[in-house]
Amino acid sequence: MLQNLDKSQPYFLSLLRAVSALVLFSYGTQKILHFPVTEKVPAIGSLSWTAGLLELVLGFCVLIGFKTRYAAFVLSGLMAFAYFIGHFPRGFYPSLNGGVASILFCFIFLYIFAAGPGPVSVDAKMKSK
């Protein structure tokens, strides 16, 4: 049974990449496209709006696995900045300062940067041609 898991590991990497990117992408759609609707809409050109634009564009790139390593590296840094600018000033503990998601996204995208997109991706399709 564990041998089957070893064989499917690359596909689980693709799944982790796609699901993580989809969740982050949804933050970008909310900030930039105003979907789903929220009362907190960042002003165009603000730091939060710029982060939303990166979440939208690069999140989509990681979602489909296009230029994945570059996009994941930038998103990992974005999430580190989000934590230290937006959450850390509110306190040391992530569970109390609201920064859990930022930390997890930071390290998930750092892992994807190192591991690559996995076999189910545009990058893998382009490499095989």
Length, in residues, of the chain: 129
Ordered per-residue pLDDT tens for the chain, 129 residues? 788 888 999 999 999 999 999 999 999 999 999 999 988 899 999 999 999 999 999 999 999 999 999 999 999 999 999 999 999 999 999 999 999 999 999 999 999 999 999 999 999 999 988
Q: Among all chains, which residue has been given the structure tokens 């590991």?
A: 9
The answer to the question of residue 44 being in a domain is yes
The answer to the question of residue 126 being in a domain is no
Instruction: Provide the pLDDT for residue 93.
Output: 96
* Domains: count for the chain: 1
- The widest CA-to-CA distance across the chain, in whole angstroms, is 52
Give pTM, 2 decimals.
Answer: 0.94
Q: How buried is residue 26: exposed, middle or buried, by Cβ count under 10 Å (0-12/13-18/19+)?
A: middle
Domain of residue 109: give its range. 12-117
The answer to the question of residue 86 being in a domain is yes
| Spatial contact of 55 and 25, defined as CB atoms under 8 Å apart | yes
The answer to the question of residue 123 being in a domain is no
Instruction: Provide the pLDDT for residue 57.
Output: 98
Task: List the one residue out of 81, 87, 89, 101 whose CA is nearest residue 26.
Answer: 101
The answer to the question of residue 4 being in a domain is no
